[in-house]
Amino acid sequence: MDSGQWEAAGVLYVESDTQLPCGEALARSFTLGQQAFETLRGEPAKVVWLPDVFGYTSCLPQLMKLTGAQYFFTNKVSWSAINRFPVSSFLWRGSDGSEVIAHVLQEVGYNGTAQPDAIRQGAEGHLQSDVHPEYLYPTGYGDGGGGVTAEICERARRLASIRGFPAIAWDLPEAFFSRLAERRDLLPTYQGEFYLEYHRGTFTTHANLKAAFRGLESALQIREAAAVAAGTAPDLNPCWRRMIFAQFHDYIPGSSIPEVYAEGLPELVRMAQELAVAARTELAGANGEPVGVPCLFNPLAVPRDVLTGGGLRRGASPPSSLAITRSRMIISSCGSTSWGNSQNLPSIASRWRCCLAAACISIPTGRLTLRRGILIDRH
Do 187 and 275 share a structural domain?
no
Tell which residue, 74, 73, 62, 68, has the closest CA to residue 43.
Answer: 68
Q: Are 177 and 47 in contact (CB under 8 A)?
A: yes
Residue 321 burial (C-beta neighbours within 10 Å; 0-12, 13-18, 19+): middle
Does 105 map to a domain?
yes
Residue 52 appears among annotated catalytic residues? yes
DSSP lists the bridge partners of residue 375 as 296, 357
Q: Does any domain span residue 26?
A: no
Q: Are residues 361 and 310 in the same domain?
A: yes
Same domain, 270 and 297: no
Phi and psi at 103, nearest 5°, equal: -140, 125
251 and 190, same structural domain? no
Q: Residue 92 and residue 72: Cα distance in Å, rounded?
A: 9
* Same structural domain, 54 and 188: yes
Report the distance separating Cα 57 and Cα 169, nearest Å.
Answer: 33
Alpha carbon distance 249, 196 (integer Å): 13
CB contact set of 281 (below 8 Å; sequence gap of 6+)? none
Q: Is residue 350 part of a domain?
A: yes
Domain boundary among 155, 175, 198: 198
Indicate whether 238 and 151 sit together in one domain.
no
| Catalytic one of 2, 17, 52, 377 | 52
Residue 58 to residue 195: CA distance in whole angstroms: 10
One domain, residues 172 and 206: no
Report d(CA 328, CA 325) in Å as an integer: 6
Domain co-membership, 237 together with 99 = no
If asked whether residues 106 and 183 sit together in one domain, one would say: yes
Q: Does residue 33 belong to any structural domain of this protein? A: no
- Residue finishing a domain among 198, 231, 259: 198
| 279 and 295 within one domain | no
> What one-letter code names the amino acid at 139?
T
Residue 360 lies in a domain: yes
Q: Which residues contact 96 (CB under 8 A, 6 or more apart)?
A: 59, 62
By CB neighbour count within 10 A (0-12 exposed, 13-18 middle, 19+ buried), where does 294 fall?
buried
Regarding whether 323 and 214 lie in a shared domain, the answer is no
Task: Give, for all 379 residues of the chain, the pLDDT tens digit.
Answer: 888 888 999 999 999 999 999 999 999 999 999 999 999 999 999 999 998 899 999 999 999 999 999 999 998 988 888 999 999 999 999 999 999 999 999 877 778 899 999 999 999 999 999 999 999 998 888 877 678 999 999 999 999 989 889 999 999 999 999 999 999 999 999 999 999 998 888 888 899 999 999 999 999 999 998 888 888 899 999 999 999 999 999 999 999 999 999 999 999 999 999 999 898 888 775 655 555 555 577 788 777 766 555 443 444 444 433 333 333 333 333 333 333 444 555 666 333 333 333 332 223 333 333 334 444 433 3
Beta-strand ranges (E) seen in the chain are: 47-49, 71-74, 89-93, 99-104, 189-191, 296-297, 304-309, 340-345, 362-363, 366-367, 374-375
Rounded to an integer, what distance in angstroms lies between the CA atom of residue 254 and that of residue 272? 20
pLDDT digit string (tens) for 112-146?
Answer: 899 999 999 999 999 999 999 999 998 888 877 67
Q: Residue 295's closest CA among 329, 344, 335?
A: 329
Q: Does residue 127 form part of some domain?
A: yes
Give the end of a domain, one of 171, 198, 225.
198
Query: What is the extent of the structural domain holding 128?
Result: 46-198
18 falls within a domain: no
Domain count, the chain: 3
Residues 190 and 307 in one domain: no
Each residue of 214-226: pLDDT tens digit?
999 999 999 998 8
Strand partners, 291: none
